[in-house]
Amino acid sequence: MNDRKVIIDEIMAHDVITIFRHIRPDGDAAGSQLGLKAWIEYNFPQKKVYALGKETYDIYPFVDEVDDKTIEESLAIITDTSNKERIDDDRWKRAKVSIKIDHHPIVDEYASYNFTDPDAASACELVTEILDGFDGTSFNKKAAHYLYSGILTDTLSFKTASCRAKTLKSAYLLAKTGISLNEISEEVFSQSQKIFDFRTYLRGKVTYDNGLAYVVLDKEDYDKFDISDSTARFQIAELNGVKDFLIWALFTKNEKGLYDGSLRSKKGYRVNDIAELYGGGGHDNAAGVKDLNNDGLNDILLKLKERIVNML
């Protein structure tokens, strides 16, 4: 189901709407969730809209709290989440109707209605595309701010291979509201002193092997900078843009003593199929894995090396 009219019809048909996102939210998850909430509140002020999740996002560290009965009366919309196991509040199942809006490869059509476009650069791009052009509705600055920030996050300021004409069109539609593009860029990409210091440390930990660059961090590596393992792993972007890096990866040890990893690659060097072998997944050139033991970590590094050799 990729009929965007169904989504608007369901929004108009429900007085209570709950919006969910994935665990360990990034800018696209938070931006698509909060942007959609702001759009609905602006265009349908009589509706009650809640953004839910157990974890918060650094830039927008707030979520709503609702009881189970409220969710049971609601339309649930889940953004930027490919499979139901990653939804950050499993109460979405109790909603009357559910809608999935996602840009990852299709692995789990868990909702009543599934709107998925793996070619989109971000969930925020998709949300913008879906909401654009319906009679009597428009984007306000608040919604545009969140949605534009999510597009910036997932495209690294329009630098990723996933960018397309529709990505720029969505950004243009949001920019037309008068949002400050410079302020949003600074908000998304500005770093604290401790992150700056961690990124400097991270560069010194890189191992390079014939096109593969990777970093493996234990808990003490990021504890000394007073950051979490997920925040440390978000710094995978520090390895972007190196000409010789064909595939790059960052692994951090989690609280269970296992490794979670972020995988990135240049176009043509697919990594999501390798991630899927270890219970992970994602896009062709951006994927993730979790809970690898030492053998699993060594094995996935070997497979990434083999991918490069086979493509050369």
187 in Cβ contact with 146 (< 8 Å): no
130 in Cβ contact with 7 (< 8 Å): yes
Q: In whole angstroms, what separates CA 27 from the centre of its chain?
A: 6
122 in Cβ contact with 163 (< 8 Å): no
Rg (CA), the chain: 19
CA distances, 226 to each of 92, 186, 271 (Å): 33, 22, 30
- CA angle at residue 51 from 287 to 187, to 5 degrees? 65
Query: Is 193-311 in CATH node 3.20.20.150?
Result: no
Tell if the pTM clears 0.75, that is, is over it.
yes
pLDDT tens, N- to C-terminus, the chain (312 residues):
567 889 999 999 999 999 999 988 999 999 999 999 999 999 999 999 999 999 888 889 889 999 999 999 999 999 999 999 989 999 999 999 999 999 998 889 999 999 999 999 999 999 999 999 787 889 999 999 999 999 999 998 998 888 999 999 999 999 999 999 999 999 999 989 999 999 999 999 999 999 999 999 999 999 999 999 988 998 999 999 899 999 999 999 999 999 999 999 998 999 999 999 998 888 889 999 999 999 999 999 999 999 999 887
CA distances, 213 to each of 17, 28, 112, 217 (Å): 43, 25, 41, 14
Domain 4-189: assigned CATH number: 3.90.1640.10
Domain boundaries, given as residue ranges, for the chain? 4-189, 193-311
Q: How many CB atoms lie within 10 A of CB 124?
A: 37
